[in-house]
């Protein structure tokens, strides 16, 4: 099964762009994996994915690890994913960390900001 990890900044302010991305690209994967962060691209993608023939994986971070839990969860999701799409506001350190880690592992990464795909890395 092809797994897409989707992440995004809470400061990303274009829910329709996230929903449109899901509608236009869902045929390329079977599983959507995200961190279930409220008021973020995670949730907007989840709502759209429920209308599509996809398996949805919501991965909560282990709160017992405190602030380290988020990055630990993100790294685990990147390892499981075949590719990553990041809706980034250019500021979020969490989304930036996902992008950097995915690149380190040689995963294809698409970064979308302000309505544009900024960079695509193919492995």
| Domain ranges across the chain | 8-121
pLDDT number for residue 123: 41
pLDDT in tens, 11-38: 898 999 999 999 999 999 999 999 999 9
CATH 3.40.50 is held by the domain 8-121: yes
Structure tokens at 33: 């994996």
d(CA 85, CA 24): 13
Distance CA 98, CA 59 (A): 14
Calculated CA dihedral for residues 88, 45, 103, 73, nearest 10 degrees: 100
117 vs 61: CA distance, rounded Å:
27
Calculate the alpha carbon distances from 15 to 1, 48, 69 in Å. Answer: 27, 10, 26
């Amino acid at each position: 099964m092809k797994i897409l990890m989707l992440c995004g900044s809470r400061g990303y302010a274009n829910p329709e762009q996230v929903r449109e991305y899901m509608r236009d690209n869902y045929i390329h994967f079977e599983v959507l994996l995200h961190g279930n962060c409220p008021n973020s691209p995670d949730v907007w993608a989840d709502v759209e994915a429920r209308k599509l023939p996809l398996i949805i994986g919501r991965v909560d971070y282990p709160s017992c690890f405190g602030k380290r839990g988020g990055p630990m969860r993100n790294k685990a999701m990147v390892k499981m994913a075949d590719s990553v799409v990041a809706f980034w506001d250019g500021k979020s350190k969490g989304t930036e960390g996902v992008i950097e880690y995915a690149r380190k592992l040689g995963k294809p990464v698409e970064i979308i900001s302000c309505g544009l795909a900024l960079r695509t890395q193919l492995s």
